[in-house]
Structure 1
Amino acid sequence: MSATASAIPVPIVRLAHAAGLDLPAYATEHAAGMDLLAALAEPVVLEPGRRALIPTGVAFALPDGYEAQVRPRSGLALKHGVTVLNSPGTIDADYRGEVGVILINHGDQPFTVERGQRIAQLVIARYVRAAWAESAALPDSARGTGGFGSTGQFAQSSPAQETH
């Protein structure tokens, strides 16, 4: 672990069907995400356009104020068109079940997920919770109500124009 990164203790359980597989781990000293492995008994073939829930064989207990984000692996996306469908997937601090990864094949060829294959990344992150303060109006900002694709543009469009 580098001098700028800190580590928090996180209890983790390796489930029976993950026997012999490594726990999630950082591949390099400065990696933000840990690799998640497929804990499959048999390979799973993802046909183009199909999705599957792939078990990882681990469950953990995050401290309050933290979440785990399941993110795609860039190599799988680039080389095969395989990605995490609900990216990033969020694992809340109070979830105690097995971590599963929903993979989808956006490629044009079948893709086989094998036992022990690196299928996603896991990033642990702090979060804050909002305390809504209902208001009659919002303070002005330079962006205003400019929506999709509006940042960096100075002309403001009306809400009716934004939807067309």
Structure 2
Amino acid sequence: MIIDKKGRLFGKVSIIDVLALVIVIAIAVFVGGKFKKSDTGSPFTQKEDKIQIVYVIEELRDFVADELKIGDPARESVYKASFGNVVDIKRDKSVSWVRTNQAKLIKSSKEGYSCVYITMEGTGIYGDNGVTIGSGEYFIGQSIVLNIGKTQVYGKICDMKKIG
């Protein structure tokens, strides 16, 4: 008999012990999966690439845009990852979306605001799944807060590529 009168498997191990062991193994597998390394690479295992990132802010107050300068250092605010230095700034009319009475969205602009494209060059690990800079992973379309020079801005990454 596999289970005896006392509820033990083969007369030695209780079913409760087996269930407890299965639960411990399941928890270990779950926790191990949470701490699995990302596949974009690690600064300790891969050589860093020179990268160019273009960041867009569709509605930025003009007084903030006036403070952005070529050469300013750019740093992401959560992981403090350095995005390098600003190499180009392009300003255009701000981009605002307004709903009409017919429930259609139309593109317009606001006075006192600009749409700003900021190009930065720095180092990171460029991979198929985005760019790793320091301990942060970044992707096209991702919204992040950057500290650039004396400013702090909220926008999206609209392009990134490996250069040089």
Q: When the two structures are superposed, what TM-score results if normalisation uses the length of structure 1?
A: 0.28
Structure with bigger strand share is: 2
Q: Using CA pairs below 8 Å that are at least 6 residues apart, which structure has the higher relative contact order?
A: 2
Q: Which has the larger radius of gyration?
A: 2
TM-score by length of 2: 0.28
